[in-house]
């Protein structure tokens, strides 16, 4: 039996640091709490980085792409070929995440975790934004066998960790592209979070009512097929996807290096839940960008005790919601580092 050994995840809690950060924030030239969640965000960033002067350097987006064998059962409104087509779109700079990454000066690279296409023989084979960590050409059909063998799941986790080991900067956004990955995320939420599968499933890429019912029926059968699987690693292998496993590995490694994890929507949160189950403590390093309209995301946020920064009615994935929220983190750092205190500005403080 294969086991996954996670790196050490440091506990960020430090009462002295928390009190010092809070005092710095409270003494800024404003009424107590007047900047609302920007203040709590600044404190959270300081706790994650273990410093009174949090900052963000060279933020990174890694979009993990893979196909899913389960899609042969009609669980998605789009064909699997769209995964590779969207990778080409990313590499040509035409996707939403490209636009937002350019706007906010975040470096973007695409990770081939398991796309059912051969990029090595394509015009993009030497593209500087394409990272080849392919484990296999798409996951297996989870209705008939585990989505990944133990060895494939371990390889995906370790590849995700290696992606981060080679990465500069101190903030990571994990995005994804994979037709069928809302099914994998729903299955992981149902089993890891003990949530009824019907409450985990949304329309994904745009299923109609009949398609949604069919998706629910198929995923119910998948869970029954793997009813004996209970350990987190085994659940990830049986029900997950190559890109989700690789994202989980990336999040685990990033947390072990005290990087900030800016978490996107439903798929990214499912990867974080898997990472937290495999390496308790990872979620301490997470800041949740937005509330996806995918129904399962609300359950994931509750499980992870998370309060997202934005609610924009988004469900695109790719890391787009996280990129949109990124400037709020910049503002939080600027406030704690650059805003004057009452004494510095020569302003009288509030009467006690």
Which CATH number do you get for residue 21? 1.10.1610.10
CATH code where residue 269 lies = 3.40.50.10210
- Are residues 41 and 123 located together in one domain of the fold? no
Q: What is the pLDDT of residue 349?
A: 85
Q: What is the pLDDT of residue 24?
A: 98
- Are residues 94 and 37 located together in one domain of the fold? no
- Are residues 217 and 296 located together in one domain of the fold? yes
39, 318, 338, 344: the active-site residue: 318
* pLDDT per residue of the chain (352 residues) written in tens, 0 to 9: 888 999 999 999 999 999 999 999 999 999 999 999 999 999 999 999 999 999 999 999 999 999 999 999 999 888 999 999 999 999 999 999 999 999 999 999 999 999 999 998 888 889 999 999 999 999 999 999 999 999 999 999 999 999 999 899 999 999 999 999 999 999 999 999 999 999 999 876 678 889 889 999 999 999 999 999 999 999 999 999 999 999 999 999 999 999 999 999 999 999 999 999 999 999 999 999 999 999 999 999 999 999 999 999 999 999 999 999 999 999 999 999 999 999 999 998 877 6
Q: What is the pLDDT of residue 352?
A: 60
- Are residues 36 and 130 located together in one domain of the fold? no
Q: How many residues does the chain have?
A: 352
CA distance 219 to 225: 10
Please give the model's pTM, rounded to 2 decimal places. Answer: 0.97
Q: What is the pLDDT of residue 202?
A: 83
Q: Is 146 within the bounds of a domain?
A: yes
- Are residues 65 and 176 located together in one domain of the fold? yes
- Are residues 67 and 43 located together in one domain of the fold? no
Task: Collect all residues with Cβ–Cβ distance below 8 Å to 342 and sequence separation of at least 6.
Answer: 27, 28, 29, 348, 349
Q: What is the pLDDT of residue 40?
A: 98
Q: Is 214 within the bounds of a domain?
A: yes
Domain that holds residue 263: 60-329
- Are residues 260 and 296 located together in one domain of the fold? yes
Q: Is 239 within the bounds of a domain?
A: yes
Walk across the sheet containing 260-263 and list its strands: 130-132, 107-114, 60-66, 171-177, 260-263, 286-288
Q: Tell me if residue 158 is catalytic.
A: no
Q: What is the pLDDT of residue 98?
A: 98
Return the structure tokens found at 120. Answer: 């090595």
- Are residues 90 and 112 located together in one domain of the fold? yes
Q: What is the pLDDT of residue 129?
A: 97
Q: Is 10 within the bounds of a domain?
A: no
Q: Is 161 within the bounds of a domain?
A: yes
Phi, psi of 109 (to 5 degrees): -135, 150
Q: Is 4 within the bounds of a domain?
A: no
Task: Give the total number of structural domains in the chain.
Answer: 2
- Are residues 22 and 88 located together in one domain of the fold? no
The residue written with tokens 């009467």 in the block is 351
Q: Is 7 within the bounds of a domain?
A: no
Q: Is 1 within the bounds of a domain?
A: no
Q: What is the pLDDT of residue 3?
A: 86
- Are residues 130 and 254 located together in one domain of the fold? yes
Task: Collect all residues with Cβ–Cβ distance below 8 Å to 303 and sequence separation of at least 6.
Answer: 189, 193, 273
The residue written with tokens 């059909």 in the block is 141
- Are residues 180 and 287 located together in one domain of the fold? yes
- Give the dihedral sign, CA 213/241/256/2: positive
- Are residues 45 and 120 located together in one domain of the fold? no
Nearest to 296 by CA among 212, 221, 238, 232: 212
């Amino acid at each position: 039996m294969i086991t996954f050994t996670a790196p050490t995840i440091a506990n960020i809690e430090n009462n002295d640091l928390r009190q010092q950060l809070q005092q710095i924030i409270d003494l800024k030239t404003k009424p107590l709490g007047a900047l609302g969640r920007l203040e709590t965000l600044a404190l959270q960033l300081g706790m994650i980085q273990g410093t009174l002067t949090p900052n963000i350097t060279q933020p990174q987006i890694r979009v993990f792409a893979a196909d899913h064998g389960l899609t042969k059962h009609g669980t998605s409104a789009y064909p699997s070929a769209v995964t590779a087509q969207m990778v080409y779109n990313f590499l040509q700079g035409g996707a939403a995440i490209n636009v937002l990454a350019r706007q906010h000066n975040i470096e973007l690279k695409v990770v081939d975790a398991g796309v059912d296409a051969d990029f090595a023989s394509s015009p993009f084979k030497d593209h500087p934004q394409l990272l080849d960590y392919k484990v296999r050409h798409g996951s297996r059909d989870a209705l008939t066998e585990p989505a990944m063998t133990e060895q494939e799941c371990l390889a995906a986790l370790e590849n995700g960790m290696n992606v981060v080991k080679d990465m500069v900067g101190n903030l990571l956004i994990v995005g994804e592209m994979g037709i069928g990955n809302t099914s994998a995320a729903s299955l992981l939420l149902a089993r890891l979070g003990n949530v009824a599968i019907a409450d985990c499933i949304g329309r994904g890429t745009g299923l109609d009512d009949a398609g949604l019912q069919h998706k629910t029926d198929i995923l119910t059968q998948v869970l029954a097929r793997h009813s004996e699987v209970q350990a987190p690693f085994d659940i990830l292998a049986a029900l997950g996807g190559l890109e989700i496993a690789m994202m989980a590995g990336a999040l685990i490694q990033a947390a072990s290096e005290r990087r900030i994890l800016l978490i996107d929507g439903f798929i990214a949160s499912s990867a974080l839940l898997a990472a937290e189950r495999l390496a308790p403590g990872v979620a301490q390093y997470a800041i949740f960008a937005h509330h996806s309209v995918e129904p399962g995301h609300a359950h994931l946020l509750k499980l992870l005790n998370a309060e997202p920064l934005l609610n924009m009615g988004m469900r695109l994935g790719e890391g787009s919601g996280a990129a949109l929220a990124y400037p709020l983190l910049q503002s939080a750092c600027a406030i704690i580092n650059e805003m004057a205190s009452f004494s510095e500005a020569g302003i009288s403080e509030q009467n006690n």
